[in-house]
Chains A and B, each alone.
Chain A
Amino acid sequence: MTRAACAALLSHWRRHPGQCLTLILGLALATALWSGVQAINAEARASYDRAAAVLGQDQLDRLTREDGLPIPLAEYIALRRAGYLVSPVIEVELSDPGARLRLLGIDPLTTPPEAQAPALVGGEISFEAFVTTPGRLLVASETAARPLPPDLPPLVVTSGLAPGTALTDIATAARLSGRSDPSYLLVAPVQPSGLPPLAEATDLTLSTPQSGSDIGRLTDSFHLNLTAFGLLAFAVGLFIVHAAIGLAFEQRRTSFRTLRALGLPIRRLVTLLAVELTAFALIAGLIGIILGYIVAAALLPGVAGTLRGLYGAEISGQLAFRPVWAVTGMGIALIGTAAASVQALMRVARLPLLAPAQPRAWAMASGQAMRGQMMFAIGLFALAFLLGAFGTGLIAGFACLAALLVGAALALPSLLTALLRLATRFATTPFREWLLADTRQQLPGLSMALMALLLALAANIGVSTMVGSFRGTFTGWLDQRLASELYVTARTPSEAAAIRAALRPRTDAVLPIVSAPVTLAGQPAELYGIADHATYRDNWPLLAAAPDVWAQVAAGEAALINEQLSRRERLAIGDPVTLQPGWTLPIAGVYSDYGNPVGQAIIGLDLFTDRFPDVPQLRMAVRVPPDRVPAVVDALRAEFDLPAANLIDQEEIKRFSLRIFEQTFLVTGALNILTLGVASLALLASLLTLAGMRLPQLAPIWALGQTRAALARAELARTAILAFLTFALAIPVGLALAWVLLAVVNVEAFGWRLPMQMFPVDWLRLGLYALLAALLAAAWPAWRLANIAPSTLLKVFAHER
């Protein structure tokens, strides 16, 4: 009996291979998007952990100076000679515009074993080569493959290092960076017996490793973002699965009844169906994981670019297969299938043995259920409003987004019904009136697919509005911020002086750019000194300012801080900001500083050189009429033999910055398009389901004299109407989404708030896409209707199936 039942159930899929394909495709796509996003996140986390584990930073205490400056060599030696087991590290960043490399110089003779420095004795790396000139740089294979600063010692490719980081001997790091004082000291966990506690022996700050890396915390928001997108894609994918399972169960209703009548126990039937669905889930899950891997591998370089651009976080551009996300991907495929099919299975379980088939019964959701949905949706809107208005933190932001989207999806059927009812009043012919009424009547069957479409469209509008607003603000900001025409970096202080002297007669102004690392509000930050010049007064993008802000800064009486710092620490104009221990200035202005993850402050140049006399003035911004830039560049290049990287004009920096920006949102765009594709598939699956069941409704119209072609056109028109209405409703939802993204999520994730801009042309294009997608989805069912055998329609009257 079981075997016969199996054969009967499976024969359905043989006869409907398209349906089988839809089901598997839907499930596979949903799993693919979800597990792809998870794979990217897993890869990024692994990269952060690797970076955090370099030199045992995840478990070793460290000694640093409170002001963030290097520790004098003598202070390190004094600690060693007092008996403490501390080990010096010189950490510097070698950078020119095209290449960046973080250099970690260690002293392998004193590095604690817990730092897990690569084995230098008995390993493939020669200790002598490592510690003697020119030294060696240990790097990951992908670091070796990318462009690097010039004149480096020989590279040795080693596993276990984060990309963009080179491990080397402290002497090599000292030579390449020109400084010999350690950046910080690693503290061995076991100190010799009989010594006073280390904290009592030094003024340096002892910091214990924190759980989770800094960069991991910084990028949490980005990964949460990705996860939210993955979840959205998965939810949309589930609509397809739901529709496909609904269709398959509906069409097999007669088989179920026959099998039951032949004596198959209901429990066994349900079990068989569950087994069948599980098999589908496993196959589709496997395909999904493979697809997910492909999606992730394709997107990862973009994500890596994003993270590097936004946070300076280095992640590997190569995807490793990690069982964790594969297993979770399979799990989510199974859970998703269960969620999508539970309703259908319950219906089968309750199927009355001898009752006549009621093909339309399940689709006829009662008005009461719709009202319930609407009430729930209103509740969610209220929640979204409260979260948006009063919530704090990234989680609240995303919860607000979720409430908004789910509420909109739940409200959709009621809203569409209302709109269609309204439209009926303006119907001029009975056929049109029937069309609208019939559309309304079909809504419950299509609502799932339409909800999916709404989610996809709203997400698309929301995210593209956010990205568009960001791009608009960002380009405007770049124009302000990069007011100088030319940026020059000298190699030595004397060369800098010579360049300044050479430039002065040929240009309008030469403005030095100097900076020093400082600690602002307990976090690493950058302090800049700027000259008193119209370039800043006229262009600098201030968000808030005291009346005489530039005079105060020039006089060394006040500082400017960036928006990130201002928001994070809730600092406003007039508040004091501590730039170094015991050195505090009032804040005279807050400026926007997009694309920079850390805090920043600006003071007058004179005050800066007073405080940091040792910081060399190597960089300078040059004001020169744009048409004379090439001449000045050529002259400087000829006179000082400066490398290309040390002479950059404004246009080049802008191009570079915009490229980073575009890269940043590459992934978002790709996920957007994929989501829309998935939603279209859901629509197709739902329409196919309905097409099979709707013959009893269509047959009378046909019998009344409408041609099959006219009916098919009506089908297309109906789908177009629904898609258009859904799109129209998606616009306000999408804009609300964009507002939450800009005003809540962005502020939490990046520390800046952006003004919202509208892009109606983009909406129009998206509307056309949606219409096109809906028509494509409706085309096949409509074509089938146009070519249906009249006898099939007649049969509706002959027997009630």
Chain B
Amino acid sequence: MNARLWIPMLLLTTGQALSQGFAGLGTDAEGFAVPAPDPQFAFPADHGPHPSYRIEWWYLTATLTGADGRDYGIQWTLFRSALRPEEAEGWDAAQLWMGHAGVTTEDAHFYAERLGRGGVGQAGVTPDPFEAWIDDWAMISTAPTGADALSALELTARGADFSYDLDLRATGPLVFHGDEGYSVKSADGQASYYYSQPFYEVSGRLTLPDGPTEVTGSAWLDREWSSQPLSADQNGWDWFSLQFADGARLMGFGLRSATRPTYTSATWIGPDGSATAYPDGALRLTPLRTESVSGRDVPVEWRMELAARDIDVETVALNPQSWMGTSFPYWEGPIRFSGSHEGRGYLEMTGNE
């Protein structure tokens, strides 16, 4: 989830004041499609891009353990941002692509960014066979015929001082958030299509300035697309994914508002992939400690409460300085949690000025 990026990406692409309140309408003023309730997903097509929507992403995070016993986290993201609701051939830029990759260790955080336009082959996503790529960064399906394309992936990325090459194998089904994949983002009704594959087992290799390390762990892929920005009063976003010892997962986010209480949403995912959505207010997020990161005060320890599931945990960042100093900067890194439950997860925070 990367709500904060919506705002700059939309500013980047439209350069005009944000419009709002289009929920439920078929298209917005500029001809972009708008998410509607009761989605009917069709795969593998919906693993691919939806150019008639403004914004879309393939967002993967993984908590890893090295052969050296140390904890690592990696991020691989491909964003799509549309200038027009269509595909175009050649240099004519209708679709823009942005890749972010990061590797986090206890004492270091590496990241890189790539930009490109669709139409010439530098970046894009094809649903069948599934491949998402920008430059040499790629997320390629290795799933056998008949299986879901996202059930097995090869993932590569490379920056000035790091690279990784990972194999991912899903042990559970796709999970749909909100109402069957229709995820509401504010009390005003802004929404997106949102599903995940939270059950990857990962093995592969990280290469850092000190040399290569074999790693294993688990990964989480988010797929989301929409045309709507946040509500005008919403200024930031905190997104959590937690992995519990019994194989269950929890996705939760809070959209911070300047004038209203934080809008929260959560999905409890059983070890078998069964999903339970929790409405606004069910999840409580409380920052416990902030740290100065890149000149901003960023909460790096949180209390998460989901009373319906008897969850009351405190999270701690593996590396509080997990700052993505990209074109649109944000915090993204692996966490550990303890309290009523214990385990590892990922945290993303945007809009911390």
Residues of A with Cβ closer than 8 Å to B? 73-74, 77, 80-83, 85, 107, 109-110, 121, 126-129, 131-133, 169-171, 174-175, 180, 190-195
Contacts and interface: CB of A to CB of B under 8 A. Distances in A.
20 contacts: A77-B122, A80-B136, A83-B158, A107-B117, A109-B96, A109-B115, A121-B12, A128-B12, A129-B15, A131-B117, A169-B93, A180-B91, A191-B160, A192-B136, A192-B158, A192-B160, A193-B162, A193-B163, A193-B207, A194-B158
A192 B112 contact: yes
Contact of A131 (B93, B135, B158): B93
B123 to A, nearest CB: 9
B162 A171 contact: no
A80 B135 contact: yes
Report which residue of B96, B117, B133, B161 has the largest number of chain A beta carbons within 10 angstroms of its beta carbon. B117
B102 to A, nearest CB: 14
A109 B83 contact: no
B115 A110 contact: yes
Contacts of B115: 109-110
B128 interface: no
Chain B: number of interface residues, binned into ranges = 20 to 34
Interface of B: 12-15, 83-84, 90-93, 96, 112, 115-117, 120-122, 133, 135-136, 158-163, 207, 327
Contacts of A121: 12, 327
A131 B83 contact: yes
Contacts of A127: 12-13, 15
Nearest to B138: A81
Contacts of B159: 192-193
Nearest to B207: A194
Contacts of B14: 128
Residue of A107, A169, A190 ringed by the most chain B CB atoms within 10 A: A107
Q: DSSP class of A's interface residues: helix, strand, loop or mixed?
A: loop
A81 B133 contact: yes
Given A193-B162, A194-B158, A180 B90 contact: yes
Nearest to B13: A128
Given A109-B117, A132-B93, 4 more contacts: A74-B121, A81-B135, A169-B91, A193-B160
Contacts of A129: 15
Contacts of B162: 193
Contacts of A131: 83, 93, 117
Given A126-B15, A171-B91, A180-B90, A190 B160 contact: yes
A182 B92 CA distance: 14
Nearest to A90: B91
Contacts of B327: 121
Given A121-B12, A192-B159, A171 B135 contact: no
A175 B116 CA distance: 19
A194 B163 contact: yes
B116 A109 contact: yes
A110 B91 CA distance: 13
Nearest to B90: A180
Counting chain A CB atoms within 10 Å of each CB, which of B15, B83, B91 scores highest? B91
B210 to A, nearest CB: 12
B118 to A, nearest CB: 11
Contacts of B93: 131-132, 169, 171
A673 to B, nearest CB: 54
A174 B116 contact: no
Contacts of B160: 190-193
A193 B156 CA distance: 13
Nearest to B208: A193
B209 to A, nearest CB: 8
A572 to B, nearest CB: 46
A171 B92 contact: yes
Contacts of A192: 112, 136, 158-160, 163
A129 B93 CA distance: 11
Nearest to A105: B91
Contacts of A83: 135-136, 158
A195 B133 CA distance: 18
A128 B14 CA distance: 6
A251 B308 CA distance: 112
Most buried by A among B83, B93, B112, B163: B93
Most chain B beta-carbon contacts within 10 A, residue among A169, A190, A193: A193
B83 A132 contact: yes
Contacts of A126: 15
Nearest to A195: B158
Contacts of A169: 91, 93
A435 to B, nearest CB: 84
Nearest to B14: A128
A195 B156 CA distance: 14
Contacts of B84: 132
A171 B90 contact: yes
A127 B8 CA distance: 12
B136 to A, nearest CB: 4
A74 B133 CA distance: 16
A174 B161 CA distance: 35
A193 B161 contact: yes
Nearest to B133: A81
